[in-house]
A and B are shown apart, each in its own frame.
Chain A
Amino acid sequence: MTLRAVPALTIALLLLPIGAGLLGTLLPAFGLLPAIGGQALSLEPWRSLFEAPGLGTAIRLSVSTGLAATLLSLALVLGFCAAAHDTRSFGRMQAALAPILATPHAALAIGFAFLIAPSGWILRLLSPWATGWDRPPDLVTVQDPLGIALVLGLCLKEVPYLLLMTLAALAQVRAAPALAVARTLGYGPVLAWLKVVAPQLWPQLRLPVYAVLAFSLSVVDVALVLGPSNPPTLAVMVVRWFADRDVALWFPAAAGALLQAGIVAGAIALVFGIERLARPIGRSWIFAGRRGGEGAWLARGASVLLALILAASLLAILALAVWSFSGIWRFPDALPQAWSLATWRAQGQALAAPIAATLGLASASTLLALVLVLLCLEAESRFALPPGRGATLILYLPLLLPQIAFLFGLQVVLVRLRLDGMAVAVVWAHLLFVLPYVYLSLADPWRALDPRMLRAAVALGAGPWRCFLAVKLPLLLRPMLAAAAVGFAVSVSLYLPTLFAGAGRIATLTTEAITLAAGSDRRVLGAYALVQAVLPLLVYGTAIALPAWHHRNRAGMSVR
């Protein structure tokens, strides 16, 4: 196969399962699934969908939690950047981000539930001396009917993600000179950032924000842990029906999956509309030229809020660790009565299989993604193929579509092909989500490669492949490993793709932790979630340490 064909192949690898999956969901949503007796086009699936108890509440919950989580995260991130871009905490925040980004959201959600539950760690630390409670209060903090816990849990993960995306976008914008000019014109630092930098950032932030919105609206694993259950959000409801022994429920479930896709599309359109409306208003706000905007209170407030989010994430992980090593730990003791290795000893063997499956899937999908992305980039530069907007959209497609909208259809196709439950199917399903992230993390460093290096290599007689292997790859070792770490973390965190493509037979740490989260021993759950959190962290650590070691005697390659 020629290099020229790789980009097309990659796009096919992404589009084929998504297209087949969407079709496989679309047909049953209109009554067509001959295998289980759906022979004729009908609107019956939609009728039963809209008659389902609690559907209205489920839709309202999905929309309100998804929008709230996205807007809250975005506001926090923009507020923080505006207020703190020239402070020391800005740099520190960057360093604190990576570990949280690497942590799967399921593990964070489980740890967060351990923190904020009425019998959770926070109240244990405050009781009874401050609260007077010797038994947990009858409060609804986790799985609350409004979905507040779900929104906060989503923010834990979305804020670091959006912050990282903003930082990446900032690197593309010449912010410092523009800010300096604005400051000399008398704008305070906050207002200057909002008026001069933010409008330049938005075009690059738009897709990440849409991805966050789509994810928050249709998330299943976090909603299972932190969201209400009676009724749950729409996505959880749909997944429940797909798992029912009465396969007739697949019809309304397929309709529900499409409705979910519609909700995401509608929400994206809404945000796009807001953006359109805001544009003239924002422009006249900027042109009006009002000065001011020292924003000291905003700087402090945004930093404190962000620090709170980071602290909650770290405490959540710590809570997992404490539970996994605890003996008996009753409310309101601040710490376990006794520490014990009993959980780890009892679960050690049971953990081995999901660890192996998680590692295998993540390594395979990441490696595959890395190879494909590198070859795509190489083809791009060798044949001067322009990376069009279309390609970017295709890359974002798996992140913008609700997973449930095409995973069910994909499962139907996989069952037909007898591929369900096979490792190759699950790796492929993971690839859909891993590849975009690997591409997005690698494309910019690739394009930033110093062309003089290549010219020197060519002048010395190196052919294109030798240039690729002996010059580009070693130069790109650091970003390659970083991209691999991102891909690995994404794969570890995937819940629905593993569940559907794996036909339940491939158990990863994420699927196990979510199964246990429904009501198992907190110590066991803590152990599973902790391993799930630690695995990507180890890979992140390696991704940082390995290039440093490899480049130890190359002064020009060391981290600045």
Chain B
Amino acid sequence: MIRRRHLLGGAAPLAATRARAQTPADPLLALPWAEIVNRARGQRMFFNAWAGDDRTNAFIAWAGEQARARHGITVTHVRLRDTAEAVARVIAEKSAGRDEGGSVDLVWINGPNFLAMKEQRLLFGPVLDRLPNAHFVDRAGKPSTVIDFTVPVEGLAVPWRMAQVVFIHDSARLPAPPRSMQAVLDWARANPGRLTHPNARNFMGVTFLKQALLELAPDAALLQSPVTEGAQRPALAALWDWYDALRPNLWRRGTQFPENGPAQRPLMMDGEIDLFISFNPSEAATAIANGQLPDTARSYVLERGTIGNTSFVAIPYNAANKLAAMVLADLLLSPEAQAHAQDPRVLGNFTVLDLAALAPADRARFEALPRPAATPSNTELGRPLLEPHPSWMTRITTEWERRYVR
């Protein structure tokens, strides 16, 4: 079996990088902000971002237009099928000795991809606190903005949107959806073929399995540390027992999986499935408005809570246009862009900012947003569960492929 050798194998590498900046001496980090904005004007930058969701793509296009109008920066969205492609590219450039003039200026990242870049010291920064809008980030109330999948971010990446697992059910066909992963199994047994999850190679697919792992693992606290042989055996055994029972009852008897999260929407739209997982509490509302889900789609969370995390953007150490990347990262953090992203007609992703810290006019942007019936309230969402250490994610994917790809 193919070994993932160096990145996420053990516990040791994390400690080595803790509290150490990656390019702290870079003179660009010492520039005053006005100078950064000034020098960034006219730069043509490449924003590498997963492009499997056309609504997110449209938001990125909007942000690019803003950057051009306000700062004279041209943003090209490099459309990735998988974020790992951008990480591999930076690694390839580093190994080819290209320590400047790299092709990736900004990358949308978190989880194992972030850890890989951080561990290999491939990030520019710490950059977060150089950005004026970073001041408003809700670090206390939304801890995942500073700790990503248990890994301290240390200012090497800039948060730009909150994500929390929800399940979307078609209330017309499934009025009382199952509220725990155990209940999901019981329901699927009674209603075979009406549930699926994205391929486990995709982050959304492996998140489905992680959500189950959090509920099923005998000692969930162990998931907050890197995988060890001792910790993995009971936890994964419980997961695969559950999954072996579930899989034959999935859509297509668990032999086929949608490639990613958004690919589940047409399945519900056409009545092929009644339930699916999503990382965006507003997905149902947004997709209904856009004609991608039936009006009867609703979001909900499990009774013991669901995983939450934060999406970041980060600048590779060798990026050719670091200043423009910083300006775009700050723009993504601006109350205006955050409110635009939170608009259920746009993305509906919750902001990373602390609304209480904002000026009244900026706060009003958020308060003016509608809250559609399909979106759960903050109380209903509850406090998000912490992501397991990224090594769990990698291990689950590898094991899933070993067990189920024949």
Q: Spell out A's residues near B (CB within 8 Å).
A: 35-36, 48, 51-54, 57, 118-119, 134-136, 138, 140, 143, 145, 228-231, 240-249, 252, 327-328, 330-331, 346-347, 349-350, 353, 412, 415-416, 418, 420-421, 503-505, 507, 511-512, 515-516, 518-522, 524
Stretch of B215-223, B348-356, B398-406 lying at the A interface: B398-406
Establish whether residues B405 and A518, one from each chain, have CB atoms under 8 Å apart when the complex forms: no
Closest chain B residue, CB of each to CB of A139: B252
Chain A residues lying within 8 Å of B269, measured Cβ to Cβ, are 330-331
Query: Are the CB atoms of A505 and B98 closer together than 8 Å?
Result: no
- Please measure, in the bound complex, the distance between the C-alpha atom of A503 and the C-alpha atom of B78, giving whole angstroms: 10
Q: Please give, as numbers and ranges, the residues of chain A lying within 8 Å of B51 by CB-CB distance.
A: 515-516
**Across the two chains, which residue of chain B brings its CB closest to A522?**
B266
In the assembled complex, B294 has its CB within 8 A of some CB on chain A: yes
Identify the stretch in B84-92, B324-332, B380-388 within 8 Å (CB) of chain A at 4 or more residues: B84-92
Contact B7 A246 (CB under 8 A): yes
* Segment among B16-24, B133-141, B256-264, B277-285 that sits at the interface with chain A: B256-264
Q: Determine if B143 is an interface residue (Cβ-Cβ < 8 Å).
A: no
The docked-state distance in angstroms from the alpha carbon of A418 to that of B100 is 11
B260 in complex: contacting residue of A241, A353, A519, CB < 8 Å: A519
Chain A residues with Cβ below 8 Å from B85 are 243, 245, 504
Nearest CB of A to B275, in Å: 14
Check B255 against A504 for contact (C-beta < 8 Å).
no
Restricting to B72-95, which residues have a CB under 8 Å from any CB of A?
Answer: 76, 78-89, 91-93, 95
Find the A residue at minimum CB distance from B117: A245
**B contact residues vs A (CB 8 Å cutoff):** 1-7, 46, 48, 51-54, 57-58, 61, 76, 78-89, 91-93, 95-98, 101, 103, 112-113, 116, 193, 199, 201, 251-252, 255-267, 269-272, 290-292, 294, 401-402, 404-406
A328 to B201, CA, bound (A): 30
Smallest Cβ distance from A530 to chain B, in angstroms?
A: 15
State how many angstroms separate the Cβ of B395 from the closest Cβ of chain A. 13
What residue in chain B is nearest A142 (Cβ atoms)?
B256
Contact of A52 among B1, B57, B58, B257 (CB under 8 A): B1
Contact partner, B263, options A145, A330, A518, Cβ 8 Å: A518
The 5 closest A-B pairs by CB, nearest first: A519-B263, A35-B95, A245-B84, A135-B271, A245-B87
Q: Are A48 and B3 also in contact (CB < 8 A) when A243-B84, A346-B58, A519-B262 are?
A: yes
User: Given A140-B255, A516-B54: A248 and B91 within 8 A (CB)?
Assistant: no
Q: Given that A54-B405, A143-B256, A243-B85 are contacting pairs, would A135 and B61 also be in contact in the complex, using a CB cutoff of 8 Å?
A: no
Interchain nearest-CB distance for A245 vs B (Å): 4
**Quick check: A53 and B1 within 8 Å, CB to CB?**
yes
Known pairs A134-B271, A143-B256, A519-B258; A504 contacts B87 (CB<8 A): no
**In whole angstroms, how far apart are the Cα atoms of A507 and B43 in the complex?**
19
Cβ–Cβ < 8 Å partners of A347 in chain B: 54
Q: A138-B252, A420-B103 are in contact. Are A229 and B257 (CB under 8 A)?
A: yes
Chain B residues near A52 (CB, 8 Å)? 1-2
Q: Once bound together, how far apart are the Cα atoms of A124 and B193, in whole Å?
A: 20
